[in-house]
Amino acid sequence: MAEVHIIGQILKAVDFAEPHLYCKWSLQSGNAWRLVQGEVQGQSHVAAHRLQSSSDFAQPLDIHLSTASVQGWPRLLVEVYAVNVLQQSWPVGYGFVHVPSTPGVHRLEIGTWKIAPNGLWQSLRERFGGGGAALSKTDLLYSGVERYKLQTLSSGKVIVELNLIFRKFDEYGVEFK
């Protein structure tokens, strides 16, 4: 079977209005893909920025996958959450990116969005640390089937650095240039 090694890190979140953030991540792929080693989901620590609009996570990724088909190519999903002094958390950004289909070093920027407040009360609650609306199903992030019904706002970006190693793809007729 062909193999993909994903080694890297979720570096940081930039341009978010909230100062205390953490990131939940997961790697989604099709039915032909199998996890050989590593974790396909995780969560970073809470990072705070005071002077910059950047929260540094440095969350390591080390995933080894095997596949017999390139169908269902892996994608990295991120959910960024804000935390207040009462340890309450709420989502402030959702986003995803397909893992690049070429080996080597890649620096990716994942643009994120959040659900827009639908009234004055929800807007005030989100503004003063009570939290915003959350998705009930994370497949809305990438499927688009029901996502068009949501009213969203742009939030920040998540910066990811990935080193990709591909093995045995030539045996399955896949060439990289």
Question: Residue 177 pLDDT > 60, yes or no?
Answer: no
DSSP secondary structure code for residue 100 in this structure: P
Q: What ranges in 7-145 are assigned the alpha helix state H?
A: 120-127, 140-143
**Least confident residue range of 34-48, 90-104, 113-127, 149-163:** 113-127
Residue 9: give its domain's CATH number: 2.60.40.150
| Residue 177 belongs to a domain | no
Residues in CB range of 124: below 8 A, 6 or more apart: none
Residue 76: domain span: 2-172
| Total count of domains within the chain | 1
Residue pLDDT, tens place only, 57-112: 999 999 999 998 888 999 999 999 988 878 888 889 999 999 999 999 999 999 99
Rounded to 5 degrees, φ, ψ at 133 are -70, 150
Can you read off the two tokens belonging to residue 99? 């893992």
| Residue 130 belongs to a domain | yes
- The neighbouring-strand residues paired with 41 are 26
